[in-house]
Chain A
Amino acid sequence: MAIPDSTQHAAKRRMILGIKLPPRVVWTKRTRADFRTGMFFLLPWLIGFLTFTLYPMVISFYYSFTIYHARRLPEWVGLQNYKDLLVDDKFWLSLSNTMYMVVFAVPLGLLASFLCALLLNFKVRGQAFYRVIYFLPSIVPTVAGTILFLWLLNPQVGLVNTMLAKIGIDGPNWMADPDWSKPALILLGMWGMGGTIIIYLSGLQDVPVSLLEAAELDGANWFQRLWHITIPMVSPITLFNLITGMIAMFQYFAQAYVISGGDKDHLGQPLGSTLFYSVYLYQNAFQYLKMGYASAMAWILFVIILLFTLLLLKVSDRYTYYSG
């Protein structure tokens, strides 16, 4: 039966970004009272959100078009901060250092944590013990973990280079070498990937046994079952881990700050190889007191993250399987 035009129009109106909205609420005295009660209970969060999230975001957007003077009124400079950023070598250096981490650390971390989760999913003796062992590093505070790695990777007395020397390899200077400082940080990140492993493990346990058994009966070997069933079934989890990992990596700060020893003179060393985007943003805001410039950086980062997330969501349509 053909749908009348007006209904079609209404149906169109009730869609946003392809998402169907719930039917329009008819306001009665009762629903109004319910709404008020709901809002009242929502108030603590709402106040927090408006004060500590929305307001800072809006005001930082305004500041990004100004020279921010701490006690005096900000001075409107239009797009100047954004123009200055485009010709700022340190901005591009920090962005490329950050992209390096996003491109290498995130996929490597995902692959490693998926493989670990697969191993930890094998029903073997001591399975729970192994799971705890792999998860433990992720509860070590970032600062402590990073300092620990500084010791492990110490070129002279560190365990890693000592072991490498035993097998005849002359280990690199790690954190003191601009070519090795980022790989060293990637290693540190992979050591603490317990959280991602746990999420993968829960996903692996949701893979329907019936499918795996059916495939096995059809003669599929372990790798074929993994490739054609397990990996597609956990693809939404991969997407989730990929997006959250990517966002975290774009905001990479704490480890880079700790390896400087908290000394502002050592931030970004060696040779600017650990000057990440958030580190440079922090320098501009709190060391050089260029809050407007730092706000512009923050908004550029927001746009970059947004674009990458949308891109991943778009591309993932083709590769992600939602069983529901």
Chain B
Amino acid sequence: MEKKIFNVLCLVVAAAMLLVACGGKSAAGPEVLRVWIQWGDNPQQIQELFDKYTAETGIKVEVTAPVETDKILPALTGSNPPDVLVLSGGDLAKSYYKEGLIDELSSAIKAGNIDMADFYEAPLDQCIQADLTLCLPWGTDAYALFWNKDLFEAAGLDPEKPPSTMEELVEYANKLTVVGADGSLEQIGFIPNHSWSHSDLYVRMFGGFWYSDDGSALTANSQPMIDAMTWQQQFFTQYGADNIQAFSSGFGEYGSPDAPFYAGKVAMMVEGEWQTGPNFIPALKPELNYGVAAFPPPADHPERAGTIVNQGTAVVIPSGAADKDASAKLLAWMMSPAIVAEEFCFNANLPTSKKAAEDPCFKELGPKFQVFVDLMASPNAFVVLTTPISLELNDAMIAAEERILLTGADSKAELDAMQAEFEAKLADSLK
């Protein structure tokens, strides 16, 4: 009798396992699609957005956001990757494509009838490698100059007139810096790498980048790179790297009311569009009297006014995705202007679709946000170019930048070393 029960149980378990193994996909297409979003501040809102796709198509979409980078690789190499993956930037897309983890998107673009002319050129550039489209940009960020009008007034500067050249910015920064009796800093005009490295913007202002325009060659030790590093170095030389480090260490948390720009410790900063949106300055420090303008160009190159460097999300389809057609349809839906506008209005980030940018919701975010929207159409809009070695090069560059800014190392020597180390690696990675 016991043996009979045991046999029946075994049969039930085996049948259940078989059903589980065969389930999940019907002949008519998938019932559930999985979207992973590496970045994702508001998971609930993102899920609600994708619920609209369910309402339109009957296909349930499960959103996981945010997803840590470490989890993405095992998922992509495993047998059950997400159907659509939203990465934080094009750099990872290039690395993943090199490893055969994601698909080239031309067939998905064709199948989904995605209007490529609707993308702003700069953010789309991060997804292009030779003539391959490896990802599609969804939302993006741009950086501009924020200045504290009250501190300008206190320093005897016109609060409505931000610096118009990089040289003037240095002058203003000096006037806005307050040094205490003991030599320590009490207020600083400008820290070039606050809150993180902005070398990409400065080097564009000096007329170059660390890759050639098509991303096929490394130009880490080009004159614009040397100029950009040396320009930043002067702030550290003047006030003392240790002084700046000690002063910075007392800064309040990013995204808190005590953040240094909000607290009047830093008078000018390079920051992104989201700061003007409802989750940052208007929520954390509504009384802050500040202005936003494009970062100024060097005095001898006024034609570089309006330069911005975009950096933003990149949507890819994993090569192991179960149903590529279903992934492509979802991708096309995500790229539709109405969805782009809804998602990025909510988060106060910039849309990558020109039609979406015309949505009145972006106007409602206020004139300061509009500065960034207008800059998206600037002829001097660029993107952080990416290659399969971007992540490794980025770390090396941050380390070199640290040595240049904090120890006064020679910009040229540091960049020459970087060029020597990565030139061949880039060539290898593009083979």
Contact = CB atoms under 8 A, between A and B. Distances in A.
Interface string A233-256: 000000000000000000000000
Given A70-B100, A271-B406, A156 B77 contact: no
A265 B405 CA distance: 16
Contacts of A177: 242, 245
A72 to B, nearest CB: 5
Contacts of B95: 288-289
Given A173-B245, A173-B246, A265 B197 contact: yes
Contacts of A173: 242, 245-246, 249
Interface string A169-182: 00001001100000
Interface string A16-42: 000000000000000000000000000
B399 interface: yes
Given A265-B197, A268-B399, A70 B73 contact: yes
Contacts of A72: 99-100
Contacts of B6: none
Nearest to B249: A155
A289 B250 contact: no
A288 B403 contact: no
Interface residues of B, number: 33
A287 B391 contact: yes
A156 B392 CA distance: 33
A71 B77 contact: yes
B320 interface: yes
Interface in A279-305: 283, 286-289
A264 interface: yes
A133 interface: no
B395 A283 contact: yes
Given A265-B196, A269-B402, A71 B242 contact: no
A191 to B, nearest CB: 20
A145 interface: no
A70 B399 contact: no
Contacts of B228: none
B76 interface: yes
B13 interface: no
A70 B395 contact: no
B398 A156 contact: no
Contacts of B406: 270-271
A196 interface: no
B402 A70 contact: no
B216 interface: no
Contacts of A268: 399
Contact of B249 (A154, A265, A286): A154
Interface string B390-431: 011011001100110011000000000000000000000000
A267 to B, nearest CB: 8
B70 interface: yes
B346 interface: no
A268 B395 CA distance: 10
Given A265-B196, A265-B394, A286-B69, A155 B246 contact: yes
B184 to A, nearest CB: 9
Contacts of B99: 69-72, 289
B226 interface: no
A157 interface: yes
Given A156-B250, A157-B250, A265-B394, A271 B407 contact: yes
Contacts of B399: 268, 271-272
Contact of A156 (B101, B197, B249, B403): B249
Nearest to A263: B196
A270 B406 CA distance: 9
Interface residues of A, number: 24
A154 B73 contact: no
A176 B395 contact: no
Nearest to B243: A173
A71 B319 contact: yes
Which of A270, A271, A289 is packed against the most chain B CB atoms within 10 Å? A289
A173 B392 CA distance: 28
Given A69-B100, A70-B100, A271-B406, A155 B250 contact: yes
Interface in A72-106: 72
B226 to A, nearest CB: 20
Contacts of B196: 265
B247 interface: yes
B388 to A, nearest CB: 9
Given A71-B100, A72-B100, A287 B250 contact: no
A35 to B, nearest CB: 26
Nearest to A280: B395
Contacts of B407: 271
A314 to B, nearest CB: 39
B402 A271 contact: yes
Interface in B374-393: 389, 391-392
Contact of A71 (B245, B320, B391): B320
B27 to A, nearest CB: 27
Given A70-B101, A269-B402, A176 B245 contact: yes
Interface in B67-81: 69-70, 73, 76-77
B187 to A, nearest CB: 14
Contact of A265 (B96, B246, B250, B398): B398
Interface in B221-275: 242, 245-250
Contacts of B389: 288
Contact of B69 (A156, A264, A272): A264
Contacts of A157: 250
A287 to B, nearest CB: 5
B70 A286 contact: yes
Nearest to A72: B100
Interface of B: 69-70, 73, 76-77, 95-96, 98-101, 196-197, 242, 245-250, 319-320, 389, 391-392, 394-395, 398-399, 402-403, 406-407
Given A269-B402, A283-B395, 18 more contacts: A70-B96, A70-B101, A72-B99, A154-B249, A155-B246, A155-B249, A156-B246, A156-B249, A173-B245, A176-B245, A176-B246, A264-B391, A265-B394, A265-B398, A270-B406, A271-B399, A271-B407, A289-B99
List 7 A-B pairs, minimum CB-CB distance, nearest first: A156-B250, A70-B99, A71-B100, A155-B249, A176-B245, A288-B392, A70-B77
23 contacts: A69-B100, A70-B96, A70-B100, A71-B76, A154-B249, A154-B250, A155-B245, A155-B249, A155-B250, A156-B247, A173-B242, A173-B246, A173-B249, A176-B248, A264-B69, A267-B395, A271-B402, A272-B399, A283-B395, A287-B69, A288-B95, A288-B391, A288-B392
